[in-house]
Amino acid sequence: MISIHRFGTWSGFSGLFVMLLVTGCQDLTEINRNPNELTDDKVNPAYVLTSVISGSATELTDLTFAGNVTQKLVPDAMQYTQRDFLEYSITNQFAWAPLSFDYRGLHQPLSNAAYLETRAPGNPDSLFIKGTAKVMQAFWFGMHSSMWGDIPYKEAFRGTANLQPAFDAQKDVFAGIIADLEEANTDLQKAGAVSSAVMKKADILYGGDVLKWRKFANSLHLRYLLRLSEKAADMTAAGINVSADFTKMIADAVKYPIITAATDNASVGFPGTNTIDSWPLGPLITTGESEFYRVKAASTVVDYLKIRKDPRLTIWFRPVEVQTLVRDRGADVVIAKDAAGAVKRYVKTYIAGTDTSLYVGLKIALSDPDSYNNNNAAHRAQAVALGSGIYDGGAANPFVSYLGTMYRANTSPLVKSTFISASEVNFMLAEAAVRGWLSSDAWTHTAAGISASLEQYGVAAGDAKVYNPITHATEAFQPVTFLSALEKEFKAAADPLELVMQQKWLASFSTMEGWFDWRRTGFPDIGKNVQNGAMGEKIPVRYIYGESELNYNAASTNTAISRLTPATNEQWSKMWLIQGTSKPW
């Protein structure tokens, strides 16, 4: 990693530190300069590309699954997961704290991508370097603006040349991103084949496959056009016709190839060989078990999957370690093994609120999630005495579903950091068809999105992965039956966009995209599930500018805050993208 570009932070704090260090030690530095030192301008840009891709995978994962609780907020807000034991008020009940752009290296992949572009001139693969650098910058600029609102864009990453960059209006940021992606596609198209074997090996995303990078760039382009769907009138003034540009791209697959097959997903796996390249929730990195077990399944996604007999339920989540069943075994509560040797909790009479399923999600924004589904120490002790494999450390609740076992492994072929997927792209086409931008069939695209998601998670016809909530048995997956039932639901819907966005939310499991889509469309309607939220049924719509921005670039940050509605730096203030739309609330 080219660490010098950690100094080009948006807040200017790190840059200021380096400036002072160099000024104070200038003579000493010159005297002791190593003539054989490998300076950053001599490092092969191929290695910088590796750093950009791997760093992006790590930081994206930190935003969703494995980051500090103040950073990993969206999966709980979007009701994929809920937390108990510790810090649940921050995530489940939306007591979000400020988060700076540079928190724990969140800015690092973007700053390195910006640096990578400067290394393109003079290189035999200059157009490939320039194109990939622009794609990754567009990815992260779009991510950051979608998280916070206005951000530094034109003046970002100038280091000591500009320690207090202006925050560009969000409209201008997205106009710039779209122009960058158009240029990236052109550069990559002109690049042809990558000549350097080192560069191919360094490209841990696509192995130097230029066509796949073009598909990535154009798929991102479509993503951002749709993100602007509620602001089409404003973008016309910036020279961008949102719907017409979307239609133009789809009509010209030669010029604008896109990702439509899961084999082309822009995703990076985790080798799992050491603490540098392992999945963050695996035992190599997350050595304490409670940090993993405090993340539980959310009832919203669990119930949605159960009702539709969706096989992704049994992949993403584990069955409860101790199922509760209404059976008269003499006493009011009996903990015992069944005929198959599984530990069960039998209750003589049904207790209101008890979930007797094998897959149980935590209700949303509970004030006391630790005790959900009648979790208590006495019952746990009896269960653990009968089943030594039952977890009984911090955050133990054997009556609620934990994340699937693949999320506790150091590596899994199904657990990757995904920048954009075929599933998302197909759902974007479905939405565009519903909106009338495309003349193609919306259901056909929706079915393709669902199928691509199933493929992404390794689901094939005949796999014994379907949970029957009536019999509690696991049945074989029948894709035709499954898709036929969803097609009937789609065609009966008062608003077909709702089902498209529900399925896209599902396929976006524990990523940021479900949040961005929900803010823009209001689908799925998950606010009604919030039981003890800080603002009733409202769910936060932005991250809060952090201390680095407020302390070291106050004027620019305060200008950005003044453009929020209301003009306060909090998670409930609406950024330009959703101002005046009545979405999501």
Per-residue pLDDT reduced to its tens digit, 169-203: 999 999 999 999 999 999 999 999 999 999 999 99
Give the residue-averaged pLDDT of 429-437. Answer: 98
Amino acid 37: pLDDT:
56
The β-bridge partners of 467 are 474
Q: Does one domain contain both 189 and 334?
A: no
Confidence of residue 576 (pLDDT cuts 50, 70, 90): very high
Q: Find the farthest-apart pair of alpha carbons in the chain and give their distance in angstroms, rounded.
A: 86
Where does a domain end: 408, 442, 464?
408
Domain-embedded: residue 442:
no
pLDDT value at 28 more than 50: no
Residues 6+ apart with CB under 8 A from 449: 422, 423, 424, 425, 426, 427, 429, 430, 503, 504, 507
d(CA 527, CA 510): 17
pLDDT single digits (tens) 488-502: 999 999 999 999 999
* Best CA proximity match to 393, nearest among 293, 489, 473, 474: 293
Q: Does one domain contain both 214 and 354?
A: no
Domain-embedded: residue 520:
no
Is residue 584 reached through a cis peptide bond, with omega within 30 degrees of 0 on the bond before it? yes
d(CA 215, CA 72): 29
Q: Does one domain contain both 188 and 74?
A: yes
pLDDT value at 9 more than 60: no
Q: Does one domain contain both 230 and 92?
A: yes
Q: Does one domain contain both 59 and 152?
A: yes
Confidence of residue 3 (pLDDT cuts 50, 70, 90): very low
Give the residue-averaged pLDDT of 223-238. Answer: 96
d(CA 125, CA 130): 9
Cα 415 to the chain's mean position, in Å? 13
Give the residue-averaged pLDDT of 73-86. Answer: 96
505: buried, middle or exposed (CB in 10 Å: 19+, 13-18, 0-12)?
A: buried
Amino acid 103: pLDDT:
84
Q: Does one domain contain both 296 and 200?
A: no
Give the residue-averaged pLDDT of 475-480. Answer: 98
Extract the tokens encoding 420.
């954009």
Where does a domain end: 366, 391, 408?
408
Domain-embedded: residue 192:
yes
Give the residue-averaged pLDDT of 460-469. Answer: 98
Residue 312 belongs to domain spanning = 289-408
Residues 6+ apart with CB under 8 A from 82: 76, 88, 91, 92, 296, 297, 298, 299, 361, 362, 363, 364, 365, 366, 369
Q: Does one domain contain both 251 and 362?
A: no
Cα 521 to the chain's mean position, in Å? 18
Q: Does one domain contain both 192 and 69?
A: yes
Confidence of residue 65 (pLDDT cuts 50, 70, 90): confident
Domain-embedded: residue 78:
yes
Domain-embedded: residue 553:
no
Give the residue-averaged pLDDT of 86-93. Answer: 94
Strands 474-476 and 464-467: antiparallel
* Best CA proximity match to 540, nearest among 149, 182, 199, 208: 149
Structural domain total, the chain: 2
Domain harbouring 107, CATH code = 1.25.40.390
pLDDT single digits (tens) 266-315: 999 999 999 999 999 999 999 999 999 999 999 999 999 999 999 999 99
d(CA 215, CA 97): 36
- Give the whole-number percent of the chain exceeding pLDDT 90: 88
For residue 412, the tally of other CB atoms under 10 A from its CB is 18
Extract the tokens encoding 44.
């092969």
Query: Which of 16-30, 136-150, 338-352 shows the lowest mean pLDDT across its residues?
Result: 16-30
Extract the tokens encoding 410.
């150091």
Cα 53 to the chain's mean position, in Å? 15
d(CA 541, CA 475): 39
Say if CB 530 and CB 539 are below 8 A apart: yes
Domain-embedded: residue 583:
no
Amino acid 578: pLDDT:
98
pLDDT single digits (tens) 504-562: 999 999 999 999 999 999 999 999 999 999 899 999 999 999 999 999 999 999 999 99
Sort residue 342 into left (φ over 0), alpha (ψ -120 to 50) or beta: beta
pTM of the entire predicted model: 0.93
pLDDT value at 10 more than 70: no
Confidence of residue 71 (pLDDT cuts 50, 70, 90): confident
Q: Does one domain contain both 214 and 294?
A: no
Amino acid 160: pLDDT:
77
Kindly report the average pLDDT of the chain as a whole number: 92
Confidence of residue 38 (pLDDT cuts 50, 70, 90): low
Domain-embedded: residue 568:
no
104: buried, middle or exposed (CB in 10 Å: 19+, 13-18, 0-12)?
A: middle
Confidence of residue 158 (pLDDT cuts 50, 70, 90): confident
pLDDT single digits (tens) 250-270: 999 999 999 999 999 999 999
pLDDT value at 233 more than 60: yes
Say if CB 102 and CB 9 are below 8 A apart: yes
Say if CB 230 and CB 581 are below 8 A apart: yes
Taken in order 448, 449, 450, 455, the sign of the CA dihedral is positive
SS3 (DSSP) at 464: strand
Amino acid 162: pLDDT:
84
SS3 (DSSP) at 298: strand
Q: Does one domain contain both 134 and 210?
A: yes
Give the residue-averaged pLDDT of 66-84. Answer: 92
Say if CB 15 and CB 8 are below 8 A apart: yes
Domain-embedded: residue 415:
no
d(CA 585, CA 578): 10
pLDDT value at 13 more than 80: no
Say if CB 47 and CB 41 are below 8 A apart: no
Q: Does one domain contain both 196 and 58?
A: yes
Q: Does one domain contain both 338 and 254?
A: no
Where does a domain end: 408, 426, 452?
408
Geometric angle at alpha carbon 293, from 67 and 63, rounded to 5°: 15
